[in-house]
C-alpha cells in the first residue's frame, strides 16, 4: 500500500475509533496526568496575549470565531489548535491554558499548561526578530510552573506528574522562514541548508535534554510540515501565479525530518527512562493537499482570512473578509491550519501516541 493510502486509511480508522469511543471518553481515565507544551504558534494557546513585546498576537477576530464563546483567545486559527485537540483526545482537558494567563486555577496547573509562544524558534535569532518567547527560554517558565505545582501537590507528587506527563514540542518553521528562505540572515554562516538544519537540530537536542533534566520523560517532538506548500511561502516566490508548492523547500523539510527521526532514538538511548516520539506532520498534511476531497477541503493553496496569500496575525483582523465555510479550507490564514486540519492531525497523532504507549 502506498504511503498516501496508508496515511489516509490510518486517518479513517482513527476517526472511526474516535467516533465510537466518544461516549466512553467522558468517563475514561486520562492517558497522561498532564500535558506540557513548548514551541511556536502551532501550539501557542495564548501566551503572547500576555507578552507585551511580541509582534505576533491573535487576540482579535476572526481568530477564535469558532470557539465555544466565539471570542479570540490567542490561538492562531478559527477554533481549537492541536494542543487542545490532542489534550481532549487523551482525556486530559478540553482546552490547554497558556501559562502566562493570570489567575490559573490549581486544577489547571495540575493537569498541564502551554509554554509555547507564536513566532518562536529553536534558533534564538528567530525570537529576537519576532520578540517571541524563544523555545530556549520557555524552560524558564516551566521552572516557575514546577514551583507552583510543588506548592499545590507537594514535591513527590509534582515530580510524579512531570515524569508521566505528555510533553509536546512543536517548532521549526519560523527558523527556516525568518532566517533562511524569506530573510536569509543565516545564509552567510550556513551556505547550505543542511548545515543550518544541523544547527537547528542541535538546539532541539539541547532543549530535550534540559526538559529531561527537569523531570520530563515522555516527549513528543514534531517534524516540519511541507514548508513549500504554506500559502505565505507560495506568495514569497515571485512569478508563482498558479501557486504551486515550492518543491525545493518541501525536499528540505523531508531531509530535516529524516535527520530528526535519526536523532531522536539517539537522544532517547542516552537518557535513561525517556520515551521520545517523532510526530509526523508532513505526510498527513501532504495527503490533505494532494487529496483534499477526502477531507472535505475545497481550498488548499490559500488561507480563509483575507486574500489568504499573505495575511496572518495583525494582518488577519476584524476587517478582513473570511471564507464562508471555514472547514473547507486547509489553512485559516497564510501560515496556520484551520481547526478542521488540526482535527485530522489530532486523529492521526492520537493513534500514533496510543501505539507508542503500548510499545
Residues noted as catalytic: 41, 333, 336
Question: With contact defined as beta carbons under 8 Å apart, do 260 and 223 qualify?
Answer: yes
CB 54 within 8 A of CB 130: yes
Residue 322 β-bridge partners = 305
Q: Cis peptide before 313, with omega less than 30 degrees from 0?
A: no
Is residue 216 within 8 A of residue 167, CB to CB? The reply is yes
Place of cell 509526523: 280
Phi/psi for 276 (5° steps) reads: -120, 125
Count CB-CB contacts under 10 A for residue 168.
Answer: 29
Q: What is the DSSP string of 193-234?
A: HHHHHHHHHHHHHHHHHHHHHTT--EEEEE----GGGSHHHH
- Number of helices followed by number of strands (H, E) in the chain: 13, 6
Task: Give the separation between CA 132 and CA 168, rounded to whole angstroms.
Answer: 18
Instruction: Return d(Cα 312, Cα 202) in angstroms, integer.
Output: 29
116 neighbors 39 (Cβ within 8 angstroms):
yes
Amino acid at each position: 500500500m502506498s504511503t498516501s493510502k496508508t496515511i489516509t486509511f490510518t486517518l479513517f480508522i482513527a476517526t472511526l475509533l474516535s467516533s465510537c469511543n466518544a461516549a466512553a471518553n467522558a468517563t475514561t481515565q486520562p492517558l497522561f496526568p498532564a500535558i506540557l507544551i513548548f514551541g511556536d504558534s502551532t501550539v501557542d494557546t495564548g501566551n503572547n496575549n500576555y507578552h507585551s513585546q511580541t509582534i505576533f498576537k491573535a487576540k482579535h477576530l476572526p481568530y477564535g470565531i469558532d470557539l465555544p464563546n466565539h471570542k479570540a483567545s490567542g490561538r492562531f486559527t478559527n477554533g481549537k489548535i492541536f494542543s487542545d485537540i490532542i489534550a481532549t483526545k487523551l482525556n486530559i482537558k478540553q482546552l490547554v491554558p497558556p501559562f502566562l494567563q493570570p489567575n490559573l486555577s490549581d486544577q489547571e496547573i495540575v493537569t498541564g499548561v502551554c509554554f509555547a509562544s507564536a513566532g518562536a524558534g529553536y534558533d534564538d535569532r528567530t525570537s529576537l526578530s519576532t520578540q517571541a518567547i524563544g523555545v530556549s527560554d520557555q524552560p524558564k517558565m516551566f521552572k516557575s510552573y514546577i514551583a507552583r505545582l510543588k506548592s499545590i501537590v507537594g514535591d513527590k507528587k509534582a515530580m510524579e506528574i512531570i515524569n508521566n506527563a505528555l510533553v509536546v514540542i512543536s517548532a521549526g518553521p519560523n527558523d527556516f522562514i525568518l532566517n533562511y528562505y524569506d530573510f536569509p540572515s543565516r545564509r552567510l554562516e550556513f551556505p547550505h541548508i543542511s548545515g543550518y538544519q544541523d544547527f537547528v537540530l542541535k538546539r532541539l537536542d539541547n532543549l530535550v535534554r534540559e526538559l529531561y533534566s527537569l523531570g520530563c520523560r515522555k516527549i513528543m517532538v514534531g517534524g516540519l510540515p511541507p514548508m513549500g506548500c504554506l500559502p505565505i511561502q507560495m506568495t514569497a516566490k515571485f512569478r508563482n501565479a498558479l501557486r504551486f508548492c515550492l518543491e525545493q523547500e518541501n525536499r528540505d523539510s523531508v531531509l530535516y525530518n529524516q535527520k530528526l527521526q535519526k536523532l531522536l532514538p539517539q537522544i532517547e538511548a542516552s537518557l535513561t527512562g525517556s520515551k521520545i516520539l517523532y510526530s509526523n506532520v508532513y505526510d498527513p498534511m501532504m495527503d490533505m493537499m494532494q487529496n483534499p476531497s477526502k477531507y472535505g477541503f475545497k481550498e488548499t493553496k490559500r488561507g480563509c482570512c483575507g486574500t489568504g496569500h499573505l495575511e496572518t496575525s495583525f494582518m488577519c483582523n476584524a476587517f478582513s473578509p473570511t471564507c464562508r465555510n471555514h472547514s473547507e479550507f486547509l489553512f485559516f490564514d497564510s501560515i496556520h491550519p484551520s481547526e478542521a486540519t488540526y482535527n485530522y492531525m489530532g486523529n492521526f497523532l492520537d493513534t500514533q501516541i496510543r501505539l507508542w504507549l503500548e510499545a
